Structure 1
Amino acid sequence: MAKVELPYGKEKVVLEVPDDRLQSVLVSELHHYTPEGSQIELVRKAIENPIGSDRLSSMAKDKDKIVIISSDHTRPVPSKIIMPLMLEEIRRGNPEADITILISTGCHRETTRNELIEKFGNEIVSNEKIYIHDCDDESMFVKLGILPSGGELIINKLATEADLLVAEGFIEPHFFAGYSGGRKSVLPGIASRLTVLANHSSEFIADPNSRTGILEGNPIHKDMIWAAKTARLAYIVNVIINDKKEVIYAVAGDAIEAHEKGCEFLSGLCKVKAVSADIVVSTNGGYPLDQNIYQAVKGMTAAEVTVKQDGVIIMLAKSSDGHGGDVFYKTFKEADDIKKVLDTFVSRGRNETEADQWQSQVFIRVLQKAKIIYVSDADDETIKDFHMIPAKNVKDALKKAEEILGNDNATVTVIPDGVSVMVVE
């Protein structure tokens, strides 16, 4: 009997599968990579050797207002390591700099103080200026022009008022932007809801280049690059992490060049070949990415590539924060026919996109390929409202999958961390 550990919240659960039924366990080589130093050493070395730019300390000289864009509570960015080193580097060049940390929530809920402390540590939260972006606060917006997509670029004015705009973040495979990190700090990170909606239009989500690991020809990425350049994002520190959320690689420097270097490194380690199976088990890599159903769609897209048509996906995501989006939830709760919902999305123009439509569109695409059994702490009715089948543990889920398929010898492929791999056909 094969036993596979799966991340679930802040814990691990074990899946048992008969050896003759287990087709493959798809894991990123990231988890086996031996870094060339400690986490702090890696980030410090990147800062000392920027790609395509001067050192941050030099860039900070004579700058009055400096804004550091930082990710929110939904991303496992090791800010306790990155942020102190960025602050140190800035003050090395300009001890009197007026620094604001701008939390890039995108269209997510506000990050709580406790979440900020967990992210940065009490010292930074108590002593630094921190502002949490709100995509609906029109008093904080500045219009900067028209995106290649035709939508308006509207971003937080704190970024536009900065003499130097920089960002921290991490790079992982992203299910429609190709990769996270870099330019995403601006769009969707600190953009208005209207701007995010235009960029995440049904046309772009449906584009075959809007997929995991693809930047070339990706219309969503093209918008994001334009936004970052227009906002004058001058410098980034981005890291790549393993399954323990530890830094194994870091890049710093020009927002475009450094990000591309990080994506190149990541791509070399996390591409895995799809191994077709009747049942595919996936996760969202545990906390913090598996806090809600909305985010869990990402891990499902890894399973989507390798599950057989009309097969079963077993998705593990603790979902202690519920569904993660009121509009997202309402879309599925009120839908008798998800195909009609998809048709409605596709009929909308770029500037008619509605909240969370992109996530719903991708989710429907997955639902059209396979049944989804959802293992979580969320209540059963909520899971059913999303047209999924609830299960409280992975053993129960596997039994339900066999019953759905009418085959207790159904083949199984396991993806222990669905957001850290790029599954390719």
Structure 2
Amino acid sequence: MTLPLGNGEIDVALPDCSVRVARPSGGEAVDPARAARQALAEPHGSRLAEVVDPDDEVAVVVTDVTRATPDDVLLDALLDRIPVERAAVTVVLGLGLHRPMTDDEIASGLGDAADLAINHDPEATVEVGRVHDVPVRVHEAVAEADTVLATGMVEPHQYAGFSGGAKTVVIGAGGEPLIRYTHGPDLLAEPGVRLGRVADNPFRELLDRAGDLAGPDFALNVTHGPAGILGAAAGEPRAVVRALAARGREALSVAVPETYDAVVAGVGAPKDATLYQASRAATYVLLGARNPVRSGGRVVVPARLDEGAGSGTGERRFYERLSTADSAAALYERMREGYEPGAQRAFVLARALRDHDVWITDSETPTLVEECLLHAADGVADAVDPGSDVLVVPDALNTLLVEPDDGG
């Protein structure tokens, strides 16, 4: 079988194991540009021209390099339809606490709109209101804009259920107070905060309430699966997320009645560039609606890790927490008392590591992997015991493992 690694693939053979492959139906791919045009023609709520006035200053918040969103296509569709001069538009790269994008990445990701882009700086934020008495701060260009628009990828998310909608603005272009609160141990412990769940999810509800204060006023999002982009939706952010999450859930769910000794979880670019992002594969498997790993079993993740743990603020905090911990159990208990924004990925990973081992294979930084309470191996076959029952999930970040009666 083949699994993704970076921008390519690797061949994996497990001849001494019993292997099942979990492939979601994947849906049918669409042309992103055509889908975006159709979504803008039939929005959820008001049309774009009714949201943006000709004399408005407009901020468009887009996703960063960690998401495979066709932002160039979505931006072109938005810019073609808003009744303002180009000089009145600022494109804010929604980094959250990730590293700034390079000039080459901006040019590649945004195309003709690259000259309008600025990297978000969480230090350069303005308070626009409060939710749960938590300051909602966003980049000054967003706070000062008359109208805020956003692109986004509605894909499975560990906490929000699915990403996209208001999240692009309030987290991507947001400040540390809201990131600290939403990603803190109290909110993440709420039972409705779960991968693949949008309705009655306190995390998602809080993002949407913050979005009422900060924007977006109008969103153009897509969802994707193994086949590619599956569809687009535009308009009122909550409705956009609901519509695309339903489409994504139908395309990405796989029913798993059995349990396994090991799950091999594929990632690929851009998520496998850093340990921070690649570790999502393990937590998506272990902390989703259906944990298919037997007691004492393991998750194996092939990941290039050409950027190591990652260089952004959140990634550095993630690495510091893991690399200085004596054990996953001790780290989890210590972090239940609180932690700085960005470190939540260490908290969630530690939660999973209390019961299961995680192996990272094929990486460029095996020593770093071992420093972070994980195991490193040269290849997938080296991380799986002979005779194991193995579930292979080729696209772990875009597969929802569910109980048999939950669909699939």
Q: Give the structure 2 partner of residue 29 of structure 1.
A: 25
Report the Cα distance in structure 2 between the residues aligned to 1:228 and 1:64, rounded to whole angstroms: 19
Q: Give the structure 2 partner of residue 86 of structure 1.
A: 78
Report the Cα distance in structure 1 between the residues aligned to 2:50 and 2:206, rounded to whole angstroms: 29
Shift, 1:168, TM fit: 0.5
Q: Give the structure 1 partner of residue 36 of structure 2.
A: 43
Equivalent residues of 2:162, 2:241 under 8 A apart: no
Secondary structure of the residue that 1:182 maps to in structure 2? coil
Letter in 2 for 1:145: G
Secondary structure of the residue that 2:105 maps to in structure 1? helix
TM-score calculated relative to the size of structure 1: 0.88
Aligned counterpart for 2:45 among listed residues 40, 49, 52: 52
**Does residue 295 of structure 2 align to residue 309 of structure 1?**
yes
**Does residue 116 of structure 2 align to residue 129 of structure 1?**
yes
Equivalent residues of 2:328, 2:351 under 8 A apart: no
Secondary structure of the residue that 1:17 maps to in structure 2? coil
Report the Cα distance in structure 2 between the residues aligned to 1:337 and 1:248, rounded to whole angstroms: 41
Instruction: Flag the 1:299–1:94 CA change in 2: closer, same or farther, 3 A.
Output: same
Report the Cα distance in structure 1 between the residues aligned to 2:85 and 2:317, rounded to whole angstroms: 45
Shift, 1:20, TM fit: 6.5
Report the Cα distance in structure 2 between the residues aligned to 1:248 and 1:337, rounded to whole angstroms: 41
Shift, 1:293, TM fit: 0.5
Letter in 2 for 1:133: H
Equivalent residues of 2:128, 2:136 under 8 A apart: yes
Alignment: residue pair count? 394
Q: Give the structure 1 partner of residue 390 of structure 2.
A: 412
Equivalent residues of 1:252, 1:258 under 8 A apart: yes
Instruction: Flag the 1:146–1:80 CA change in 2: closer, same or farther, 3 A.
Output: closer
CA RMSD of aligned residues (A): 1.8
**Does residue 135 of structure 2 align to residue 146 of structure 1?**
no
Report the Cα distance in structure 1 between the residues aligned to 2:181 and 2:225, rounded to whole angstroms: 33
Task: Note the 1:16-415 alignment, pairs <5 A.
Answer: 16-18=13-15, 21-22=18-19, 24-30=20-26, 33-35=27-29, 37-54=30-47, 56-90=48-82, 93-95=83-85, 98-121=88-111, 123-125=112-114, 128-135=115-122, 137=123, 140-148=124-132, 150-243=133-226, 246-274=228-256, 275-284=258-267, 286-304=268-286, 305-324=291-310, 325-348=315-338, 353-398=339-384, 402=385, 408-415=386-393
**Identity of counterpart residues, as a percentage?**
24
Equivalent residues of 1:63, 1:97 under 8 A apart: no
Which 5+ residue runs of structure 1 have no aligned equivalent? 403-407
**Does residue 399 of structure 2 align to residue 421 of structure 1?**
yes
Q: Give the structure 2 partner of residue 405 of structure 1.
A: none
Shift, 1:99, TM fit: 0.5
- 1:219-265 deviations in whole A, cap 9, x for unaligned? 21121011111113211110112336x32211011111122111111
Shift, 1:306, TM fit: 1.3
Letter in 2 for 1:423: L
Report the Cα distance in structure 2 between the residues aligned to 1:95 and 1:331, rounded to whole angstroms: 47
Letter in 1 for 2:113: I
Report the Cα distance in structure 2 between the residues aligned to 1:53 and 1:334, rounded to whole angstroms: 51
- 1:250-304 deviations in whole A, cap 9, x for unaligned? 10111111221111111122122234100110022x1111110001121112331
Moved more, 57-66 or 44-53: 57-66
- 1:190-226 deviations in whole A, cap 9, x for unaligned? 1112220111111112222211111233221121011
Instruction: Flag the 1:131–1:70 CA change in 2: closer, same or farther, 3 A.
Output: same
Secondary structure of the residue that 2:78 maps to in structure 1? helix
Secondary structure of the residue that 1:186 maps to in structure 2? helix
Which 5+ residue runs of structure 2 have no aligned equivalent? 404-408
Report the Cα distance in structure 1 between the residues aligned to 2:86 and 2:366, rounded to whole angstroms: 54
Report the Cα distance in structure 2 between the residues aligned to 1:323 and 1:106, rounded to whole angstroms: 16
Instruction: Flag the 1:332–1:38 CA change in 2: closer, same or farther, 3 A.
Output: closer
Equivalent residues of 2:159, 2:193 under 8 A apart: yes
Report the Cα distance in structure 2 between the residues aligned to 1:291 and 1:102, rounded to whole angstroms: 22
Equivalent residues of 1:151, 1:199 under 8 A apart: no
- 1:294-348 deviations in whole A, cap 9, x for unaligned? 0112111233121112101111121111112222112121111322221121123
Shift, 1:52, TM fit: 1.5
Instruction: Flag the 1:87–1:372 CA change in 2: closer, same or farther, 3 A.
Output: same
Report the Cα distance in structure 2 between the residues aligned to 1:187 and 1:409, rounded to whole angstroms: 47
- 1:57-80 deviations in whole A, cap 9, x for unaligned? 343232420111001111111112
Report the Cα distance in structure 1 between the residues aligned to 2:75 and 2:331, rounded to whole angstroms: 42
Equivalent residues of 2:318, 2:344 under 8 A apart: no
Report the Cα distance in structure 1 between the residues aligned to 2:170 and 2:59, rounded to whole angstroms: 16
Instruction: Flag the 1:45–1:355 CA change in 2: closer, same or farther, 3 A.
Output: same
Shift, 1:95, TM fit: 4.2
Letter in 2 for 1:201: G
Equivalent residues of 1:184, 1:224 under 8 A apart: yes
**Does residue 7 of structure 2 align to residue 14 of structure 1?**
no
Aligned counterpart for 1:5 among listed residues 2, 6, 15: 2
